[in-house]
Structure 1
Amino acid sequence: MEGINSQTASIDYFQLLTVQLQHQDPVDPVDQEGLINDLTQFSILEGIENLNASFNQYMQLQELTQGVNLIGKSVDYLDEASGSIKSGVATDVFNIDDSIQVLVDGQTVSLDQIARVAEAA
């Protein structure tokens, strides 16, 4: 289940505000300062979500760059199936489910499995 985001919160808030304004007491109108504070909070939340999205894109680009720099290099990596360290030459980099993977002698290896990098012999 996804958490609430600024767009969902804003839609819900404006629907609630519309109903509240339709049924407000003319003698005791809606507090405008409270409305401004709510809108400011939604604006801040949206800015934070945009910043997080940009940061995630930057991190993916950084990981892709790290992977590309491994092509043609000899790498030691942890083989999760056997639990042993294996070696090979990185030949390809690709993205699977937003995770950068390196092809090492036909084996798909994630960046966090790589333990050592050296120039190929």
Structure 2
Amino acid sequence: MEVNTNYSFSNVYNTSETTSNDQLGKDDFLQLLVVQLENQDPLDPMDDKELIAQLAQFSILEQMQNLNVSFNAVRAINLIGKNVYATITDDNGNSTSVVGNVDAVYKQNGEYYLEVNGIDVPLDAVTAVSE
């Protein structure tokens, strides 16, 4: 019996959501797992222990990402009232230094921003903090 080994992985890259920093996220991991299951050899399917291990890895990845979001929220909220130093870059590539007290924190499109002297500063742009 002849087994078809011509796999198509084009669906893996057609994701509408991208992750930051060009890293694989939980959606990418799940899509890879689904493609692997769709294209496995029917005469030699994936071992159930392998599948359970991969699902456990997926669950761990998801929980780690949830913790990261929570840590960023706590980090941003803890900066309220503190003096921060930040360097922000505009769309033209020009850098601007921002120094001042954090008046407010908000979240937009999954990213936390600090309001410093009326300027919106991404949390990741903060380079130093003082009391």
Q: TM-score range by the shorter chain?
A: 0.5 to 0.7
Report the AA paired with residue 70 of structure 1: L
Judged with a 3 Å threshold, the aligned counterparts in structure 2 of structure 1 residues 9 and 42 are, in CA distance, closer, same or farther, namely farther
TM-score (norm 2): 0.64
In the alignment, which residue of structure 2 is the partner of 1:42? 51
**Unpaired runs of 5+ in structure 1?**
21-29
Higher relative contact order (CA 8 A, sep 6+): 1
1:12 equivalent to 2:24? Answer no
In the alignment, the residues of structure 2 paired with residue 98 and residue 49 of structure 1 have an alpha-carbon distance, to the nearest angstrom, of 21
Larger Rg: 1
In the alignment, which residue of structure 2 is the partner of 1:26? none
Report if aligned partners of 1:64, 1:93 keep a CA contact under 8 Å in 2: no
In the alignment, the residues of structure 1 paired with residue 88 and residue 37 of structure 2 have an alpha-carbon distance, to the nearest angstrom, of 48
Report the AA paired with residue 93 of structure 1: V
Runs of 4+ in 1 over 3 A off after TM superposition: none
| Cα drift, residue 74 of structure 1 | 1.3
TM-score (norm 1): 0.68
In the alignment, which residue of structure 2 is the partner of 1:67? 76
In the alignment, which residue of structure 2 is the partner of 1:96? 108
| Cα drift, residue 10 of structure 1 | 7.6
Q: Going by fraction, where is helix more abundant, 1 or 2?
A: 1
Aligned residue for 1:53, secondary structure, equals helix
Judged with a 3 Å threshold, the aligned counterparts in structure 2 of structure 1 residues 9 and 44 are, in CA distance, closer, same or farther, namely farther
| Cα drift, residue 12 of structure 1 | 2.8
Q: Percent identity?
A: 16
Report if aligned partners of 1:77, 1:113 keep a CA contact under 8 Å in 2: yes
